[in-house]
Structures are given as structure tokens and as C-alpha cells.
Amino acid sequence: MSLHRFVRDIRSCRVSVRRSQIASTAAIYAMLTPTFGLLAVFSLVPFVWAFVTSFFDYEVGGESRFVGLANYTEYLHDPTLLSSFGNLLFLTAFGLAVVMTAPLIVAKLIFSLKSERARYLYRVLFLIPIVVPGVAGMMIWQGMIYNDTGLLNETLRLFGRDDLTRGWLSDPRTVLWAVVFMGFPFAGGINILIYYAGLAGISESIHEAAELDGARGLMKFFKIDVPLVMSQIKLLTILTVIGTVQGFEGMFILTKGGPGFRTMVPGLWMYMNAFSFQRMGYACAIGVILFLLILSLTVLNMRYFRSSEELTAEAI
């Protein structure tokens, strides 16, 4: 009799476990629906459309003609190809160099302050630039600093170096540098906060241990702080790469890729082909190429850039 009840209990137990398992799986899929639903409708459909269009010669509102891989091979011979990707390389490299140094240094400086109030105050103040529309920032640099009667030129004239004045954004020799230097000193925004959080997460005991070993000042910074904020560095690196490779609004507003094609980037050329030149298929091909590029770069980044957890594990 007890065996009978025992078996019955186990059976009902198994049933209820299975039921809860099914309920659990159902719950999982239900909870994932909004995300995948939205993604499918608003992200996947347009992407698939664009991918398919890249194999056609298509004008918005006009007819389309299947051309297979012709758009892709044409891009390989495009006159802007070299300058576009060269610029992209430069912009990404510069962007990475900046994001890995300036905000980190400023974060460290703030972190080293004694007064808690001061630390808080500085963090807030450095956040202010994110409140201003990005366009406004660019217009300021374009219309007040780089233009003919702007800050740079007027300062040169003040020092009597009239010969060095120029249109910084229209001179082919200076334009690329002018574009990357916008936003100097590159310390505004949330990057500082991100690094600060990383620094704050390093426990006191590690610092003390390092000091006992004789590490001081700068050396301590490089040996301890930097590796331990590697996770943050990695995150910002990925975001910077994704942002730079895709990005084009900046160029669009400032230089439209000029003078000549000196500041052309693939994103902008894609945009121009889609809207100005009516070559939607070609533009889509460029876009797909960019997507593959970003994807591979991100995968590389995730694989080879070691996170701070791993570095800590190694150190121990």
C-alpha cells in the first residue's frame, strides 16, 4: 500500500516536473517574443530587402534589373574605394586611440582627487556635452572655429601668421585632421563615467599589494589600473568601431566627403548612391559589405581582446 502510494507520488511528481518544465520553456519563449517580434518586423525585413536589392540594379520608384554580383564587383573598381577605406582606417585608428586615452586619463585624474564632492562635481560637469544635440556641436566647430573668420584663423592672424590661415575644412591637406580633431579634448560624455566605474571597481587590496611591491605613480597606473579596466576598454572599443565604420552623418554635415574625395567614407558614398544618384542596388551592395566588415571586426575583438576577468585570473 505504501509502495502504491510511493509510485503514485513519484508519477505525479514526474508529471508535475514535466509540466513545470513545459511551462518554463513556454514562459521562456513567451518572454522572448517581444524582442524577436520587434527585431523581425523592424530590423530583419528591411535588412533582407536591402540584401536582396544588392543583387539588382534598382532606382527608387523605377524598374529593377537583376545583375547578380555586378554591384559588388563594381564597387571593387569604384574610384572612391581606396580613399573611403583608407579614411575609415584612419578615423577608426584615431577614434580608438582617443577613446582609449583621453577619457581614461581624465577619469584617473578625477579618481585621484581627495574630495568626494569634487569628484562628483567634475563627473557631472563633464557630462554636460551629451545634452547638446550632436549637430550643434559640429556646427560650432564648422562655423566658429574652422571657418575663415573663426577662432583658428583669427588666432593665427593675431600672431601675425596670416600665411598659415586657410579654410581648414576645404583644404585637402588639412581636412581629415580637422575632422578628427573636432571634439577636442575628447573628454565630454559618458566615457569618463564608464572608466571611472571601472577604476572604482578595483579593490583597495590590489592597490596596497602593488604599493608593497614598490610600484608607484605612473608605473602603478599602467600595470594595475589599465589591465583591470580592460573590460571597459574592450566595450568602448567595440562601440567605437561599430560607430565609426557605420557612421557618416558627421561627414555628411561637415564636408560631404570633400574636398574631392578626401574625407569620403563608405557610409556616405552609400548614402549618396542611394539618394542622389538613384543607384539603390549599388548602395545596398556597399551596405552589405560594410555589415560584413563590422561583423568580422567585432568577432575578432571579442575573441582576442582579453577581458579584465581573464587578466585577473592570469595574474593570480
Binders in 110-129 for other proteins, by CB under 8 A? 110, 112-114, 118, 122-129
Closest approach, Cβ 238 to other proteins, in A, equals 6
Please pick, from the candidates 69, 89, 132, 209, the single residue that binds other proteins as defined by CB under 8 A.
132
The continuous run of DSSP H or E covering 65 comes out as strand 64-66
Closest approach, Cβ 220 to other proteins, in A, equals 10
CB of 281 closer than 8 Å to CB of 54: yes
Closest approach, Cβ 226 to other proteins, in A, equals 14
Q: How many helices (H) and strands (E) does the chain have?
A: 17, 2
With respect to other proteins, which residue has the nearer C-beta, 99 or 194? 194
The continuous run of DSSP H or E covering 279 comes out as none
Closest approach, Cβ 316 to other proteins, in A, equals 19
Closest approach, Cβ 90 to other proteins, in A, equals 17
Residues 85-104 that bind other proteins (CB under 8 A): none
The continuous run of DSSP H or E covering 177 comes out as helix 175-180
Tell me the β-bridge partners of 156: none
Report how many residues bind other proteins under the rule CB under 8 A: 123
Q: With the C-alpha atoms ordered 154, 159, 163, 164, is the resulting torsion angle positive or negative?
A: negative
The rounded distance, in Å, linking the Cα atoms of 250 and 254 is 6
CB of 206 closer than 8 Å to CB of 229: no
Q: Does 287 bind other proteins (CB under 8 A)?
A: yes
Q: Does 139 bind other proteins (CB under 8 A)?
A: yes
Write each residue from 184 to 223 as x if it is in contact with other proteins (CB under 8 A), else as -, in one continuous string. xx-xx-x--xx-xxx-xx---------------x------
Q: For residue 134, how far is the Cα from the chain centroid?
A: 15
Please pick, from the candidates 66, 89, 134, 300, the single residue that binds other proteins as defined by CB under 8 A.
134
Please pick, from the candidates 95, 150, 250, 281, the single residue that binds other proteins as defined by CB under 8 A.
150
Residues 225-244 that bind other proteins (CB under 8 A): 231-232, 234-235, 238, 242
| Burial environment of residue 279 by CB neighbours within 10 A (0 to 12, 13 to 18, 19 or more) | buried
CB of 88 closer than 8 Å to CB of 245: yes
Closest approach, Cβ 5 to other proteins, in A, equals 22
Residues 3-42 that bind other proteins (CB under 8 A): 20, 23-25, 27-28, 30-32, 34-35, 38-39, 41-42
Write each residue from 244 to 283 as x if it is in contact with other proteins (CB under 8 A), else as -, in one continuous string. -xx-xx-------xxxxxx----x--xxx-xxxxxxx--x
Q: How many CB atoms lie within 10 A of CB 70?
A: 16
With respect to other proteins, which residue has the nearer C-beta, 90 or 147? 147
The continuous run of DSSP H or E covering 64 comes out as strand 64-66
CA distances from 149 to 159, 164, 195, 225, 246 (A): 15, 13, 38, 44, 33
Q: Which three cell numbers stand for residue 84?
A: 573611403
The rounded distance, in Å, linking the Cα atoms of 265 and 246 is 9
Closest approach, Cβ 66 to other proteins, in A, equals 16
With respect to other proteins, which residue has the nearer C-beta, 190 or 226? 190
With respect to other proteins, which residue has the nearer C-beta, 7 or 66? 66
Please pick, from the candidates 91, 98, 99, 106, the single residue that binds other proteins as defined by CB under 8 A.
106
